[in-house]
Amino acid sequence: MAFDSVRTPAGKADQVLGGSVNYFSLAASLFTPIKIVAVVGEDFPLGHLDFLSKKNVDVTGVQVVKGKTFHWVGEYNSNMNEATTLATALNVFEHFDPKLPATHVDCPVVFLANIDPVLQQNVLDQMKTQEFVAMDSMNFWITGKPDDLKKTLKSVDLLCINEKEAFLLSDEKSLEKAAKKIQTMGPTTIIIKRGEYGSAVFTPTGVFLAPAFLIDDVIDPTGAGDSFAGAVVGYLAQNGVNRNMVKKDPAAWEQLIRRAIIYGTVMASFTIQEFSIGRLKTLTQEELMMRKEQFIKMISFGM
């Protein structure tokens, strides 16, 4: 949970709500109840935690400590696929040590957001049950803590990273080779996000390519990947995902993850239409379903 200061060709926003937890939980909460673990400073608006609670998000795992909240400053140029980081103030996040409340240790589906892989493993170690584990990471941890990252990956079922991160982690230069190599590290399913070019999901039995939903005016791409992951994992949880399904019924898993990717793609298309979490705060199930149907018409064809 963070504050973002962002500049894009469409304008700028200063000290707005950001962070993977905000984007992910708002997206996932449209499908299933969510329990989050995070840390914020005394400057974080407690009204936002109240808002999340009303959105079916359990915020009892959010630690409010003395100091300032994580603050990221970045900008996008004409290439809206990648942000340039101008400044990062870790603040209270620098010494974050995730502690799960008793109410959080029995969640069947776990999503490990992009933090130190040692902390990701720490979260898993506190879980009593975990039927399915999804994870995000980034180039900072891939290059800075490769051994710790690979150790955590052994416990992961689904990895969601972008194209450059996939190449960096695998030391390969093609999507298929990168995915196959990463699958040997633990995750049986790899989602590779490709920005405006959509995404590719590699399962034990197949490959699915989904384009991005066409948006005329992109305001702010920040959080698109996190909301994409939120919708994917939220939809999977809503439909009772577990690792046994992946192993025992690969055909059913193939169909389920493909449907989840569609929802993730549509969710990300809403996120980029406003700065911060503005559009996700007002998004309804009806709007989501309507755009999903539009997207299906865009990619469907007859034989």
pLDDT of residue 132: 97
Q: What is the pLDDT, as a whole number, of residue 303?
A: 64
Q: Which two tokens stand for residue 48?
A: 């936002």
State residue 79's pLDDT score: 79
Determine whether 259 is exposed, middle or buried from the number of CB atoms within 10 Å of its CB (0-12, 13-18, 19+). middle
Specify whether the CB–CB gap between 134 and 158 falls below 8 A: yes
In this prediction the pTM is 0.95
154-193 residue pLDDT tens: 999 999 999 999 999 999 999 999 999 999 999 999 999 9
2-8: strand order across its sheet: 11-18, 2-8, 71-75, 84-89
Whether 224 contacts 272, CB under 8 Å: yes
DSSP output for 64-132: E-SS---EEEEE--S-TTSPEEEEEE-GGGGG------GGGTT-SEEEE-SS-HHHHHHHHHH-S--SE
d(CA 255, CA 41): 42
Q: Max CA-CA distance within the chain?
A: 62
Confidence at residue 86, expressed as pLDDT on a 0 to 100 scale: 95
**Which residues of the chain fall short of a pLDDT of 50?**
none
Question: Collapsing DSSP states into helix, strand and coil, what is residue 56?
Answer: coil
- Homologous superfamily of 2-299 in CATH? Ribokinase (3.40.1190.20)
| pLDDT one-digit tens code per residue, 186-211 | 999 999 999 889 999 999 999 999 99
Burial profile 150-188: b = 16 or more Cβ within 10 angstroms, e = fewer: ebbbebbbbbbbbbbbbbbbbebeebeebbeebbebbbb
Q: CA 57, 200, 197, 166 torsion: positive or negative?
A: positive
Is residue 98 within 8 A of residue 37, CB to CB? The reply is yes
Look at residue 257 and give its three-state secondary structure. Answer: helix
**What would the DSSP string read from start to end of 6-31?**
EEETTEEEEEEEESHHHHHHHHHTTT
Output the CA angle 276-280-283, nearest 5 degrees: 150
What is d(CA 296, CA 303) in angstroms, rounded to the nearest whole number?
A: 16
In this structure, the strands spanning 199-202 and 189-193 are antiparallel
The answer for 11, left when phi > 0, alpha when psi is -120 to 50, beta otherwise, is: left
